[in-house]
Amino acid sequence: MYFEKPDRLFSIFLSLAFLFLLVLFSSEVSAREITLTWEPNSEPDLSHYIVYWGVGPGAYTSNSGNIGLKTEYKINIPDGDETYFFAVTAVDTSGLESDFSNEVNTSSVVFSLKSGWNLISIPDISANISIQEAFGPIMSSIINISAYENGAWRVYPYNPQYGTLSIIKPWQGLWLNMRNSETISFIPKTYNSVYLVKGWNLVRFTLPLSQDIRNATSSIYRNIISIWTYQEGKWMVYDPLNPYLSDLQTLEPGPGYWINVKKACLWTH
């Protein structure tokens, strides 16, 4: 049985920031604990929320029932490769239920963008796409976007001092200057190889799951001078000459990375 779309639309938005935790129930059975959070509905006659989930997009086979006015819900789902999809509705005091919120799922990479500069990448593309395709829902919050390729900057919107950035390539890292804080979600895709020029390269990590840096960069490790990223308002660095003193130890889909290499090389996985 699937739950059909409710009848009435409220202004409810499910936050795309949720956590994934592995919880072992026994040696035989395990589960993931999912924590969903969302922005509160502003309707004055709001009664409660309902959380829906299932194993297909929009195909919700289970729900929480009435969870009151709290804007967080935890659920255990079976551990494994199966992707679960979630949405939330709001119900008013007369029993009318909102449309489903935006959908999130357990394969998503969630990125909280802060007002100001963010170093990110788009991990769900395997071919060139337009900026509007990549950032459509949050375009109004973007001041500008900068990419660095072959020693030159490209900028959106147009800036006469730099090249024009109109498309985003699957391997690129991006500086994103935000007017407002936003949250975006991606389902990572693999992109097999990235060509790195001698010197600095602004790129993304092209596998869908996080890896420690030594394994993630095994094909180029001897060429690496350093790897940098900028997260939560601070720089993090990996120095192969001082790996245990480096605060950057893992590459993951979502951030952007500055990689400095001794010579041109092909980063493969």
pLDDT tens string 20-39: 222 222 233 346 677 788 88
Q: What is the mean pLDDT of residues 223-252?
A: 96
Give the pLDDT confidence score for residue 22 in this predicted structure: 25
Superfamily designation of domain 19-105: Immunoglobulins (2.60.40.10)
Q: Which of 14-28, 93-107, 130-144 has the lowest mean pLDDT?
A: 14-28
pLDDT tens string 217-230: 999 999 999 999 99
Domain residue spans in the chain?
19-105, 109-268
Q: What is the mean pLDDT of residues 5-13?
A: 41
Give the pLDDT confidence score for residue 143 in this predicted structure: 96
Q: What is the mean pLDDT of residues 239-258?
A: 95
pLDDT tens string 59-96: 999 999 999 999 989 888 886 668 889 999 999 999 99
Q: How much is the mean pLDDT over the chain?
A: 85
Cβ contacts of 218-223, under 8 Å, gap ≥ 24? 219/265, 219/266, 219/267, 219/268, 219/269, 220/196, 220/261, 220/265, 220/266, 220/267, 223/196, 223/261, 223/262, 223/263, 223/265
